[in-house]
Structure 1
C-alpha cells in the first residue's frame, strides 16, 4: 500500500462518514452530510499537532496535498506551520489597515504637540480634504508614489502650500504605519515629489498697507464697533489676528497682555507665554471693548464665539482695499526698520517671532518688554497722527 497519495478525487467524493488517510499525515474527515475537512497531522519539536487545511469539497484533494507539502516543508525547516500561519494572518490583517484609520491614529498621537490639541483641525485638514477622499480606503501597504502623484497633481501647481502640507502629513502617516508594524513604502512620498516635479506656484506676500498710510486708516475706525476696536488693537500691538480675536479679560494684567504660549504660531505647549506691552491707547481700546465682552472675550461675534479673521478682512474688502489685517504686522515691521534704531532681535520679538537658535535662546532670558513698550508707544503716536522722534533703546 502506498505511503502517500492513497486517495483519489473521485473516490474521496464517494466516501461515507469517517476518517480517511491520504498518507504522510493528511486525513479527510467526513460527516453525515458527506461534507468534510482536511486535517494534517505533524510532529513539531516532539509534539504532535493537527492543522486544518480547509473544508471538503471546497478544497480539492490536489489543493490539500499542496498545502500539506508546504506545511511539511516548514516542519523540516524547524518551524511550526500552525504558528507560521497565524503569524501570516496577523501580518495580512495589519496590512489591511486603510489609510484613513492610520491617519486618524497618527493625528491622535500628535495632538499633544499641536496647538489646542489640534482642535482647529489645521494639521488634519490637508489630509481630510485632499488625500483621504481618494486614498482613504486604500490599505497603506498598497499605496505607492503613483497613487500619491495622481492624488496631488490637480493642486500641485495651483495650491502649492496646501499640497506640500498634504504631502508632509502623508509622510508622517506612512511613518506611523511603519511604527505600527505595517509593511509600507517609506520612500513613496519622496518618489511622488520627484514625479510631481517643481511647482510653478510663486508665493505671494499678504498685501500690507504702507506704514505711512496706517494713520488715515486707523482714524477711519471710529464707530466703536467690535470690528473697529479689534482692528485698532491689532494695529497697535502688531499681534496676529488669532490671539487677538480670542483676547480674554483674564489675559490682561495691568499694562501687559499675556498670550498663552500654545496659541502662538509655530510654537508648542512648552513654549513660554508671550507678553505684549499695552500702551495707553491700547488700554483705552480694551476698556471700551469690555462693554461688548461676552463670557470674558472682548471681541465676540454677533451669534456665538468670537469674530472671525474674515470679519476684519471683509471690512477692508468692502472699502476696495487689497490689503488684509495680517498685513499690519508688515506695516509695523517696515516702520521699525525705516524710522527707528531697533535692534533686529527686538524688532522680531515685537512680532512674536522666535529669534536665534535653541542654545542662544536658552541663555537669553529677556523678552525685551520695556524696549518693546517704548517702540509701541511711538508706533501709537504715529498711527494716531502724532509725531515722534526716533526712539533710543537700552540694549539688553
Structure 2
C-alpha cells in the first residue's frame, strides 16, 4: 500500500486540497501548526470577496469553476459559505472593457452603467465615471469554508494533526518523509506545502533541490478598516462588493462578523509593509488609514469616515500576482496567493490535488518554470 499524501497547512488552499484528495479516495494526512483558519495566516475571519471580474479570461474561467465548487461545499457541508451581493468595478484605474470582454468569454453577464445610473441604484456611491456590474459576485466566509472543507476531508477518511509543526522534509524511497517537531515521522507518497505566508520560512525545511526552485515571494502586512453602513442594508444586494482604481487599487465588501455585522471592510490591495509571517507586528500603518479615509470621503460621502475597527492581515505575493502550483520530485509547492486567491479555493484544491497525483490540469502559468521565466 502506498504512503498517504501529506498536506501541510490548513488554510483555504490546504483544506481544499485535503478535501479534494480525500474525496477521490486518497489517503491524506493534513498537518496544521495551529488550528484551521487561525489568525496567524490569511484564511481567517468572515469576509473575502468572490467575483469573476478579471480582465484575464484565465482567472474568469477559474472563478466560474470555483463558484460551482462553493455551491458544492455548501451542499455537502450544510453550512452557508457564499452570500451573493453583486460586484462593481469602477475608477479610471480599472479597464472595464477588458473585464467585460473576459467575462463574456465565459458567459458571465455584466452591465456597464453610467455614473448617473450607478448613483441611482446605489445612492451612497458617488460614482463619477461608468461602473461595471456583475450579479454573480459576493462574500465568502473563509472560517466556515475552511472548517467545512476540513470536516469533509475527515468524513472521507483524512487524518488531521493540529498543533504540529514541520521540522524538515526528506526524500525517501517512493516519496518523502515529513519529520514533525514532536518527533513523529510521516511517510508520504507526496507532500503538499500549502503554508501561505509561512512558505518562505519553511524553505529551509525542504529538500535543497526544492528550496532552490522556490520563486521570490514577498510577504506584506496589509491594513484593513471597517466603517459603518450609512443605513443597514435590507438585503445583500443593497451593498455590493467593489474594486476601485484611481490609480491605487482599493477593495471593499460587507464585513460580516468581522465588522459586527454593522459595517463594511475596505482596504488597499497594492500597498503593504514587508514582513514575515512570524515577524509581523500587527500595527496598523497610519498612512494607509489616511489614504483609506480619503477614499471613503470621496466615494462614499454619506458614510461616517471614522473607522470603528481596524486590523492587519498577510499577503504573499509573486512578482506578477499569478499563483504558484507545481511539483518538484515528491513535493508540491502551492502558493495561490497575491491577495486574490481566497475566492478560488475549491478549484485550487482540485488543481493542487492533480499536481500531487500526477494530473496535468495545472495551467502552465502557475508552474515554476513559468514563474522563473
Give me the TM-score of the superposition, normalised by structure 2: 0.25
- Which structure has the highest helix share of the two? 1
Bigger RCO of structures 1 and 2 (CA < 8 A, at least 6 apart): 2
- Which structure has the highest strand share of the two? 2
